Amino acid sequence: MIWGKSKFFLLFCLSFIVGVFLGNYVGNYVVYYVVAIGAVIFIAGITILWADKRFVLVGFLGLTLLLGAWRFQTSFPYNDSNFVGKFYGQKVDLEGIIMREPDVRSDKTNLTIRVRDVSGNILITVGRYPEYEYGDWIKISGLIEEPFVSEEFSYKDYLSRFDTYAVMRFPKVEKVAADQGSPIKASLLAVKHKFQDVLSKVLPEPHSALVLGLILGLKRALPEDLKQALIIAGVSHIVVISGYNISIITRSILKSRFLVGRKIAFALSVLVVLAFVIMTGAEASVIRAAVMGLLLVFAMNIGRLYQARNALVFAATLMIAQNPKILGFDIGFQLSFTATLGLIYAAPIFEKWFEKLPNILAFRTNLASTLAALLFALPLLIYYFDRISMVAIPANVLVLWVIPYAMFFGFLTGLLGIIYLPLAHISGALAWVLLEYLIRLVGLFAKLPLASIATTINVPAVFGYYLLLAFGIWFYRNKKKFYYELEYIKQKI
C-alpha cells in the first residue's frame, strides 16, 4: 500500500470534517444529487478498476466527504413538520422543560426550553426573579421570534449549536413542576452551585470571580475592567474551559511522573480532568474540552506524535458527527482544536529550540506552549476578535506557571468548604495570594502602550495561513530528506 493504515484513517476523518464544513455552503438537493452521482461512479470504478487502489481510495474519500455534507444538512430540523421556526411572529402557549442550567445575569435570566411536541428548543428571557432551576416544567405564553442575523454576527447560528432556533422575550411563565430532568445532571449542578457558594464566601471580589472563571469557566461574574484587561493582555483563555486550558493542568501533573511514576501521574491527570467535568455540571462544551485535554495527556504518555495526531482528529470527528454545528459555529471548539494541535506539533519544536534556557517556574515549558498554541490559534483570534495582543507571549509566560497552583488551591478551598467551611480559609489564603498576583500582573500588561492592536483578517487569508503553517511544519520535519533529494538531483543534472 502507498500509505500506512494510520494515514488512511486520518484521511477519512479529515474528508468527513471537510464535508461537514462544505455542507454549510450547499443545499440539501445539491448533496443528494452529488451523493447519487458519486455512488454510481464509485461502484463503476470498483467494478472496472479494482486493481488501481488509488482510484478506490479517491472514491471512498469522495463519499466520506459527501457523508459529512449530508450530516451537516440533516442536523437542522428546518424540514420537520413541527419545526419551531414555523411559529415565528406568532403568539403561542407552550409547555416544556428547562433543559440547561439557567444563565443568570445581573438583571435577567436566560432559559433554554425543550418544548413538548415541537422540534427545536426555545431560548426565553425572563426577569431575575422568581428563580428557576434545571428540570423545571413550565408553561410559557408569548411571541416567538427568529434569532437575529447581521453581517458581523449570526445569533441564529450561535444558538443552533444547542439545537435552539427561536427566542421569546419576557413571556408569561408559570412553573408547573420541578425535578423533571435527569437526576444525575441535577446532582452535578447541585454540587457545582455549592462549590460556587463556598468560594464566594471565602474569597473577596474580584478574586472569587477570577477563580470561578479559572475552574468553572464562568466569565459573566468577572468585573468588566478585569475582563477587558484579560483580553488586552492576551490571556482571556484562562477563564474559558477549553482543551488548551485543561492541558495546562495535565501537563503540570505529568511533571510528577519522575517522582510517582508514569502510570500514577497519568491516572492523576485523568482523575483531575474528570473532577473538572463533574464540577462544571458535565456540559457538552466541557466534555469536549476534557477530551482535548486528555488527548494531550495521551500524547505525552505514549510519546508518539502520529498516534496523538490521529487520536485528536478521530475525537474531533466523533464530536462533529454528534453535533456538526460546532465546527463552524463554536469558537471554543475551534480554538481548543487548533491550540491542542499546536501543542502536539509545534511545542516539541520550540522546546528543542529553547533547550538551553532555564526551566525555573516552568519558564521554558510555558514559553514553548504559549508560542505553539498562539502560532496555531492566531488567525482565528484575529478573525473573531478583530485584534491582536502584542504582549500575549510575555504575559502568558508569566501567568501560565501560576495557573495550576491557583486552580489547585481554589479547587481545594471549594472542596474543604463543602466539608467544613472554616477549613477553607486556610487554603483560601494561599489561593488569594496567587490570584492577587494574576490580577496585578494582567492589569500591568493591559496598561502598557500598544498592548493590543485592532486588526482584521478574512477567511481566505485564514486558510492561506494554515496552508503555509502546515507546509512549514512538514518542511521542518522532513528537511534532511528534502536536502538529500535536492543534492541527489543536482548531482544527476
H/E element, 315: helix 305-322
Task: Tell me the per-residue pLDDT of 349-397, one tens digit each, with 9 for 90 and over.
Answer: 888 888 888 877 667 877 888 788 888 988 888 888 888 888 888 888 8
Contacts (Cβ under 8 Å, ≥6 apart) of 162: 100, 112, 121
Please state, in angstroms and rounded to a whole number, the distance separating the CA atoms of residues 243 and 234. 17
Which pTM does this prediction carry?
Answer: 0.78
Percent of the chain with pLDDT over 70: 80
DSSP labels for 155-215?
HHHHHHTTTEEEEEES-EEEEEES--S-HHHHHHHHHHHHHHHHHHHHS-TTHHHHHHHHH
Distance of CA 29 to the CA centre of its chain: 32
CB 124 within 8 A of CB 113: yes
Q: Which amino acid is at 190?
A: A
Compute how many other C-beta atoms are within 10 angstroms of the C-beta atom of residue 460. 8
Please state, in angstroms and rounded to a whole number, the distance separating the CA atoms of residues 144 and 132. 20
Letter string b/e over residues 323-334, b meaning 16 or more CB atoms within 10 A of that residue's CB:
bbbbbbbbbbbb
Using CA atoms, how far residue 385 sits from 2, 232, 363, in Å, is 42, 11, 28
How confident is the model over 313-341, as a mean pLDDT?
A: 85
Three cell numbers written together for 275: 473532577
Residue 1 has a pLDDT of 41
Three cell numbers written together for 385: 476578535
**pLDDT surpasses 80 at 58:** no
Beta bridge partners of 149: 154
Task: Tell me the per-residue pLDDT of 154-213, one tens digit each, with 9 for 90 and over.
Answer: 899 889 988 999 999 999 999 999 989 888 888 888 888 888 899 999 999 899 999 888
Sign of CA pseudo-dihedral 311, 314, 320, 323:
negative
